[in-house]
Structure 1
């Protein structure tokens, strides 16, 4: 798949906002013990076209060394967008306003007890990244072309009869749910214009912390 959606920032922002506005997102209702987190799918210009930012988390604390989207636990009184943007600033030094949010995808009910709310942004001038060494081990970019490619999602049969999604972003770079599920829904809804749900996606045991 090629075209202005994957390479031109204004075209991406216009299309993404329209498709997210037309998407009837699913929210996880409040429940005893449920915790909430917000993450950001942040699309920026990158050599060869537009790309989404992923991080490898610092090798300490929750989700040590795992692939993830910038984001984290919501503070009291925060909306998902407010918390996700605060975390984007704290983790990568990107300070955006709520008006820059293009829309949101489904809450993902993670097996760790979190409902994770992904928002989509595409800042016109994000400025330089300033990763926090306390939270971020490394920063990576995955091109929208790669996310939209037919061979990026792979469904691996499991012994219980289910299938495990693997998002193959590059040789040796495979991302599973929850992050992989949110990237897959972003691909389906925003890049390909198809409605798709992810709440039932399997997670590897090591992501359940």
Structure 2
């Protein structure tokens, strides 16, 4: 049986908003929006991969919170798993694979053209973010 590689995506939350990243490459994905992240390396947990990828791609430190239910097929041999994450330090910048970033409130997540495989996770993340916004302060 072929090994399936996991790609971790980060639904990065900060101040009631979700971070979206616009792809600059490869050409077939350029101009579309995604949840930033990348491939799990051998010996890494999904949480470790997410922290590393967001540091490399965006120059930020994050804290993984929880994995969203489900996984979504990417190209053959790859699946996307998405984790919610809290921005801990830094201001996100498009360092690799992206040319623009934007913060979206739950009611604005459909304002950008998401990659098809990210849409279910974005919908789950937006619901989670909206619920957090409604929760009473601790």
Task: Report the Cα offset of residue 34 of structure 1.
Answer: 1.4
Contact 1:51 1:144 in 2 (8 A): yes
Contact 1:72–1:87 (CA under 8 A) maintained in structure 2? yes
- List runs of 5+ in structure 2 lacking aligned partners: 133-138
The root-mean-square deviation of aligned C-alpha atoms, in Å, is 2.4
- The gaps in structure 1 that reach 5 residues or longer are 1-30, 148-168, 194-209
Q: Which residue of 2 aligns with 1:175?
A: 114
1:119 pairs with 2:58 = no
Aligned counterpart, 2:135: none
**What SS class does the counterpart of residue 75 from structure 1 fall into?**
coil
Write out per-residue CA displacement over residues 20-65 of structure 1, whole angstroms, 9 at most, x where no aligned residue. xxxxxxxxxxx514121111100112xxxx2110101123478443
TM-score (normalised: structure 1): 0.55
> Larger % of strand: which?
2
- 1:82-129 CA-partner distances (Å, limit 9, x unpaired): 111111001100123xxx322111242314132211111123x43222
Q: Within the alignment, does 1:75 sit opposite 2:45 as a pair? A: no
The answer to whether the 8 A contact 1:40-1:71 is kept is yes
Paired positions, count: 131
Q: TM-score, normalised by structure 2?
A: 0.79
Tell me by how many angstroms 1:176 deviates: 4.6
Q: Which has the larger radius of gyration?
A: 1
Query: Which structure carries more relative contact order (alpha carbon 8 Å, separation 6+)?
Result: 2
